Structure 1
Amino acid sequence: MNKNWLEWIRLTPRLWFLLGFLGCAFLLSMGAYFQFVDGLEPCPLCISQRIAILLTGIVFLLAALHNPGVAGVKTYAILGALTALGGGAISTRHVWLQHLPPEDVPECGPGLEYIFNNFPLTETLKLMLNGTGDCAKVDWIFMGLSMPGWTLVAFLLLATLSLLQFWNAKPN
């Protein structure tokens, strides 16, 4: 009964990566629900966060399907953590914009469809990652956190899950 608490949750890295992928799929489905059922239009930073969730999910799915050895698990763990932390950085910017005083909020930009159709790719990426005044609007709050706040929590959990695979990886 004196086992370390981490021993109680030790599963194969393949299973943990699969659970991480399922978590990413759940997050993306929640974004789709809020957009298509509740009618919340995503801002540029919301779209950027969804892309980061998708990339993290792809890394986790590839890791689960590949079922690599120890070196591969560590490589996937680093890639998963990097994509999750990149998404966390976007979420942090989004939360920061939402907490700016109204006079400091950047101006609203053109709609995403217009941006994609009329701006070069580099300018589109810059607008998507910097956010606009639309990104400062808080449409949804649960337990005191806005949607970007919860997305930041999710990214930090995904990065932690990924990095825990260093401990979880066993030599064959």
Structure 2
Amino acid sequence: MSFGLALLDQKPRRFFVLVCVACLSMLAFGLYLQQSVGLNPCPMCIVQRYALILIAVTAGLAALGDKKSLHITSAFLMLVEAGFGAFVAARQSWLQWYPPEIATCGRDFYGMIENFPINRVIPMIFKGSGDCSAVDWTFLGGSIANWSFVCFFLIGVLALLLIWQRASHH
């Protein structure tokens, strides 16, 4: 474990590149499932994609610099972004485990944004719909939302470790 923490402190730019590549890989896999397999993303899936994009951009920009303060700030932003993504994935997993009695497909994400003010869209997204509670794909017993939660959680833990490691060494 100390080797991994030392690596975070000695090579933080590699950590940020790794996170950026991992997020881009997950986004590419999501597009593969959408375009090749035919799985249409629900509103919560799209929000998780946006969280992955934010994390990838933050990590990519952090990898360009070598300042300790930039790395700590970027890791904190990634922690917040990963926390948000984990929250959305956890909510979707909960909807999949305990689907609503009346499953309606409702509007798609972009239809909601075009037709409603943002203060109505956000609760509609988190309320979920029939699409958000459907489990169309699994891997080792976990749905896409379950695996997304695991990935967001790991990114958040690694970002927290990086903050701790970089801040504790003057």
Checking the alignment, whether the CA contact within 8 Å between 2:92 and 2:132 is kept in structure 1 is yes
Shift of 1:117: 3.0
The structure-2 alpha-carbon separation of the partners of 1:109 and 1:31, relative to structure 1 and needing over 3 Å to count, comes to same
Structure 1: which 4+ aligned runs deviate by more than 6 Å? none
Contact 2:27 2:52 in 1 (8 A): yes
2:156 pairs with 1:159: yes
Report what 1:81 is aligned to.
79
Counterpart of 1:96, as a letter, is W
1:8 Cα offset (Å): 6.7
Q: Report the TM-score when normalising by structure 2.
A: 0.87
One-letter amino acid matched to 2:160:
L
Unpaired segments ≥5 residues, structure 2: none
Partner SS, residue 37 of structure 2: coil
Whether the 8 Å CA contact 2:93–2:145 is kept in 1: the answer is yes
CA contact (8 A) 1:87 1:155 kept: yes
What SS does structure 2 have at the residue aligned with 1:40?
coil
Q: Provide the C-alpha distance between the structure 2 equivalents of 1:98 and 1:24, rounded to a whole number of angstroms.
A: 23
| Matched-pair identity in % | 35
- Structure 1 residues 15 and 45: CA distance shift in structure 2, 3 A: same
Partner of 1:40: 39
Letter in 2 for 1:27: M
Tell whether the 8 Å contact from 1:49 to 1:87 is kept in structure 2 after alignment.
Answer: yes
Distance 1:73 1:111, change over 3 A: closer
Q: Which residue of 2 aligns with 1:72?
A: 70
Cα contact 2:76–2:163 (8 A) shared by 1: no
Q: Structure 1 111/80 Cα, relative in aligned 2: closer, same or farther at 3 Å?
A: closer
Q: Which residue of 1 aligns with 2:12?
A: 13
Q: Which residue of structure 1 aligns with residue 136 of structure 2?
A: 139
Are the aligned partners of 2:20 and 2:57 in contact in 1 as well (CA < 8 Å)? yes
Partners of 1:168 and 1:30 lie apart in 2 by 31
String of CA shifts for 1:51-89, please: whole Å, max 9, x gaps: 1111111111111112222x2221111111110011000
How many Å separate the matches in 1 of 2:158 and 2:127? 27
What's the CA shift for 1:108? Answer: 2.9
Report SS of the residue matched to 1:149. helix
Gaps of 5+ in 1: none
Q: 1:7 to 1:156 in 2, by over 3 A?
A: closer
| Per-residue deviation, 1:9 | 4.0
The whole-number CA distance in structure 2 between the counterparts of 1:131 and 1:20 is: 28
The corresponding residue for 1:108 is 105
User: Alpha-carbon deviation of 1:106?
Assistant: 5.2
